[in-house]
């Protein structure tokens, strides 16, 4: 059934029906209620393609994920929050998966050019990220989860990665650690650079010399945590405390510590960054793991909010948000053995 048929069936004009269903104010309250009810009963749903063609809006936002990186638990958690928020306005999320940067740019071209989405969400910006410029040229609204190296003139929302690691490192120094290892995110990702700065500055302020053999970087997977920790433990002067970039990394670290016959907390301290997943919980580990905590899901919800405002035509170009990160101390952090 289309609008014409439906309007005829209930004895109204197409115009009035369309207005009633789209919530325009000029329709009498009573008329709207009646139409809404009838649409429900007869099962009439406006055709999205037709509406999109007429309005120029797609009613969807796009997000492009890179093969092998995209669908990790982090992104996933973020999307759950995002979807949850957008669902309230019937805005759908359109997902594309690409293999490399090249293809990603092509995907933006396609999504924007064919007007398949009204806005785009960019995530995990890198130090030399060209994507923001590309999207600007394509004239499609976008928001960045994370931030560019330049903190550019587009809306973004990021957590305080610098502050989180600065505080975590400072805390470890406060309780006496002098050799602190760090297993960071991938080199070139802005958030990882920020974390490294936080780490280095905390060390510098206490006059501790930075040791390059105590810093590794890589994807947030168990294996990277394991190998990095093994490498650390084989050093002539191994770290007495370690910062892990994610809970997955932390799992690997814990594994390496156990394999070496050491005890977490007692022999080696650990603070991991926790994006808060429901299927893996720092409080449930043995020992419980200290974390710098920030909810990926909440970030998704908030970005959904901002997107909805952008779609409503509000100018959000100057919007920036930096979320503080909690430091939650648990059993995995103790002063070093004498």
Binding site for its own copies (CB under 8 A): 43-53, 58, 60, 65, 67-68, 70-73, 76-77, 79-80, 83-84, 87, 90, 92-98, 109-110, 113-116, 219-223, 226, 248, 251-252, 255, 258-259, 278-281, 284-286
Q: Which residues of 15-27 are buried (b: 16+ CB within 10 A; e: fewer)?
A: ebbbbbbeeeeeb
Minimum Å distance from CB 43 to DNA? 11
- Among its own copies, DNA, none, what does residue 27 contact (CB within 5–8 Å per kind)? DNA
Q: Of 13, 33, 88, 263, which one interacts with DNA (CB under 7 A)?
A: 13
With beta carbons less than 8 A apart as the criterion, state whether 129 and 148 touch.
yes
243 forms beta bridges with: 182, 271
Of residues 41 through 70, those in contact with DNA by CB under 7 A are 45-47, 50-51, 53-56
Report the residue from 27, 121, 224, 299 that binds DNA according to the rule CB under 7 A: 27
308: its two tokens? 């909805």
Q: Is the CB of residue 95 less than 8 Å from the CB of residue 288?
A: no
127 binds, among its own copies, DNA, none (CB under 5 to 8 A by kind): none
Kindly list the distances between the CA atom of residue 138 and the CA atoms of 54, 65, 124, 132, in Å, as whole numbers in the listed order.
21, 19, 20, 10
Q: Does 36 bind DNA (CB under 7 A)?
A: no
By CB under 7 A, tell whether 31 contacts DNA. yes
Q: Which does 220 bind (CB under 5 to 8 A by kind): DNA, its own copies, none?
A: its own copies
Q: How far is CA 112 from CA 4, 99, 106, in A?
A: 31, 19, 10
Indicate whether 317 belongs to the interface with DNA (CB under 7 A).
no
Distance CA 156, CA 316 (A): 9
Q: Smallest gap, in angstroms, from Cβ of residue 55 to its own copies? A: 9
Report the nearest approach of its own copies to the CB of residue 324 (Å).
25
Q: Measured from the CB of residue 175, what is the shortest distance to its own copies in angstroms?
A: 26
- Contact indicator for 240, 336 with CB cutoff of 8 Å: yes
Choosing among its own copies, DNA, none, which partner's interface includes residue 226 (Cβ < 5 to 8 Å by kind)?
Answer: its own copies
From the CB of 195, what's the least distance to DNA, in Å? 45
Angle between helices 222-233 and 247-259 in degrees, nearest 10: 40
Site membership for DNA, residue 105 (CB under 7 A): no
Is residue 246 within the footprint of DNA (CB under 7 A)?
A: no
* 14 contacts DNA (rule: CB under 7 A): yes
Among the listed residues 15, 33, 281, 317, the single contact to DNA using CB under 7 A: 15
Percentages (nearest 5) of helix, strand, coil residues in the chain: 45, 20, 40
Which residue lies nearer to DNA by CB, 8 or 206?
8
User: Could you tell me how far CA 49 lies from the centroid of its own chain?
Assistant: 30
- Specify the pairing of strand 215-217 against strand 180-184: parallel
User: Do residues 96 and 107 lie in contact, with contact meaning Cβ atoms separated by under 8 Å?
Assistant: yes
Q: Is 158 helix (H, G, I), strand (E, B) or coil?
A: strand
Cα separation, 46 vs 58, whole angstroms: 13
Binder of residue 96, out of DNA, its own copies, none (CB less than 5 to 8 A by kind):
its own copies
One of 25, 207, 313, 318 touching DNA (CB under 7 A): 25
């Amino acid at each position: 059934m289309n609008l014409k048929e439906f309007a005829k069936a209930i004895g109204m004009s197409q115009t009035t029906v369309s207005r009633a269903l789209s919530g325009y104010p000029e329709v009498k309250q009573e008329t709207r209620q009646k139409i809404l009810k009838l649409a429900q009963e007869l099962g009439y749903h406006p055709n999205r393609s037709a509406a999109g063609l007429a309005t120029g809006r797609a009613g969807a936002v796009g997000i492009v994920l890179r093969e092998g990186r995209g669908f990790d638990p982090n992104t996933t958690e973020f999307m759950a929050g995002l979807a949850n928020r957008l669902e309230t306005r019937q805005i759908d999320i359109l997902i594309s998966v690409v293999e490399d940067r090249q293809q990603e740019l092509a995907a933006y071209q396609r999504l924007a050019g064919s007007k398949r989405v009204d806005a785009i969400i960019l995530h995990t910006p890198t130090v030399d990220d060209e994507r923001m410029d590309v999207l600007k040229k394509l004239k499609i609204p976008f928001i960045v989860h994370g931030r560019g190296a330049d903190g550019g003139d587009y809306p973004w929302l990021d957590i305080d990665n610098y502050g989180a690691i600065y505080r975590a490192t400072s805390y470890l120094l406060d309780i006496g650690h002098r050799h602190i290892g760090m297993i960071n995110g991938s080199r070139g990702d802005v958030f990882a650079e920020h974390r490294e700065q936080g780490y280095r500055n905390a060390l510098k302020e206490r006059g501790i010399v930075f040791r390059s053999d105590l810093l590794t970087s890589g994807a947030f997977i168990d294996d990277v945590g394991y190998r990095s920790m093994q490498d650390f433990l084989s050093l002539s002067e191994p770290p007495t405390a370690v910062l892990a970039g994610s809970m997955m990394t932390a799992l690997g670290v814990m594994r390496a510590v156990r394999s070496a016959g050491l005890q977490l907390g007692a022999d080696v301290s650990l603070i991991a960054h926790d994006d808060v997943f429901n299927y893996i919980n720092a409080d449930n580990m043995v020992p419980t793991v200290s974390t710098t905590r920030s909810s990926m899901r909440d970030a998704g919800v908030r970005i959904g909010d901002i997107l909805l405002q952008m779609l409503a035509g509000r100018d959000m170009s100057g919007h920036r948000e930096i979320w503080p990160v909690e430091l939650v101390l648990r059993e995995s952090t103790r002063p070093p053995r004498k």
